[in-house]
Amino acid sequence: MLATTLLVTTLLTVMLAASFLLVSAEQRTTDNSFGTARALALAQAGLQAYFAQNRGLSDTSTYDSTRITLVLGYADVVAVKVRPSGATSGSTLALWVVRSSGVSTSPVMAGQVQGAHTVVQFAQLNPGALPARAALVTLNGVVINGGATSPTPSHPVSGHDLGSIAPCVSPGGLAADTFAVSTPTGKYQVTNVQAPAGIGVESWYPSWSNLYDSTHIDWPGLVGGNFLPDYTIPPAAWPPLMSSNYLVGFVNGDVTIPAGQRRGMLVATGNVTLAPSAHWDGIILAGGRLNPNASSAIVHGMVVTGLNMALGQSVAPDTIQPGTVLLQWAWCYTQSSVSSLAALVPVKNGWSDTWTTY
């Protein structure tokens, strides 16, 4: 009887221990599956977050990496150039491979290993492009009127290059100079003012739409939301004076650039006014007109006005009075503002989650 009791007790103990082991193994298997699924989601989220960032890559870049912190984990993203741009490579865009390794840092069971998964996406580097037509590209036309008794100012608009601005090196001379003004035929008026300096005035476009097409700006798409600026005004304040970064700002409506020196690309759906002592280095894209009515205002770079004409709106001509503004073309500021828009664009059907097995 005692032997039977011990045997039954032993069997029950073994069965209970086996049940605990079985449940534990199932929990670990389930946790592994959850960890793998979470790691895949984290890797993909990190990949998408990376593409949404402005990493400041250029044609000379070859490598980039960052860690993106996410809920219950993180993703280590590494981008490597695998083919440069150029005719010899068969493509005008450089080819990159972007690898995102997601790690799940919150396993359900204590002591369980962290889930990890890696996904890869091929991408091409779009360097950003904005043809440098002139220092002032005005779809709506421009009036530079000094008046009968006003003194004649020295070149209120100039297509001569400002020169190199460290670390940017301008090509200099004719290679860097451009037109002072580009405008449709019959939309350029000047009275009692020296002719703009530079290559001259480009006004042979038969209509504003021809000039608009030459800018390669998709204004309806831009104002329709196909645009991700670094800051908006309002509600955000203006960026720091002379920030080392070439930021992209957006204004839905009219805007007045305050005093102080700033740089980058400013996009405004309305009119752009320059306050006294305002100094902008880079690019200004205005849906409306430019109001340079401050005697101490300066723009070094390129200004495009009248873009709302692409939306079917009527825009009054820009008016520049003598001594109001010095609008001078700057190759370096313009190129730097455009290069800040460079971004990696995923290649269609170029995604893989088995890259580590290759």
Dist. CA 270–CA 254, nearest whole Å: 4
Name the pLDDT band for 149 (thresholds 50, 70, 90). Answer: very low
CB-based contacts of 106: which residues, under 8 Å, 6+ apart? 72, 73
Question: What's residue 104's pLDDT?
Answer: 85
264: in domain: yes
Query: Token pair of 93, please?
Result: 């865009």
277: in domain: yes
5: in domain: no
* 224 & 313 share domain: yes
> For residue 97, what are the domain limits?
34-126+343-357
SS3 274: strand
* pTM of the complete model: 0.69
Q: Is the pLDDT of residue 21 over 60?
A: no
Instruction: Pick the more confident residue, 301 or 354.
Output: 301
Residues 63-77, mean pLDDT to the nearest whole number: 92
Residues 35-47, mean pLDDT to the nearest whole number: 86
Query: Token pair of 18, please?
Result: 């086996």
Whether residue 231 contacts residue 247, with contact meaning beta carbons closer than 8 Å, is answered with yes
Q: How far is CA 215 from CA 23, 203, 218, 219, 336, in A?
A: 67, 14, 9, 10, 17
Whether residue 168 contacts residue 339, with contact meaning beta carbons closer than 8 Å, is answered with no
Residues 309-336, mean pLDDT to the nearest whole number: 86
* 58 & 74 share domain: yes
150: in domain: yes
Q: Is the pLDDT of residue 19 over 70?
A: no
**Structure confidence by residue, pLDDT tens digits, 248-277:** 889 999 999 988 899 989 999 999 998 888
* 288 & 149 share domain: yes
**Structure confidence by residue, pLDDT tens digits, 94-115:** 899 999 999 888 755 555 567 7
Instruction: Pick the more confident residue, 211 or 321.
Output: 211
* 87 & 229 share domain: no
**Mean of the per-residue pLDDT values for the chain?**
81
Report which secondary-structure segment, H or E, holds 103.
strand 94-104
* 173 & 74 share domain: no
* 352 & 333 share domain: no
282: in domain: yes
* 98 & 60 share domain: yes
Question: What's residue 110's pLDDT?
Answer: 55
Question: What's residue 337's pLDDT?
Answer: 85
Q: Is the pLDDT of residue 241 over 80?
A: no
Question: What's residue 303's pLDDT?
Answer: 95
Q: Is the pLDDT of residue 147 over 70?
A: no
CB-based contacts of 230: which residues, under 8 Å, 6+ apart? 54, 239, 247, 248, 249, 264
CB-based contacts of 167: which residues, under 8 Å, 6+ apart? none
Whether residue 202 contacts residue 182, with contact meaning beta carbons closer than 8 Å, is answered with yes
Whether residue 51 contacts residue 346, with contact meaning beta carbons closer than 8 Å, is answered with yes
101: in domain: yes
**Structure confidence by residue, pLDDT tens digits, 117-126:** 899 999 988 7
* 259 & 271 share domain: yes
For the chain, how many structural domains are there in total? Answer: 2
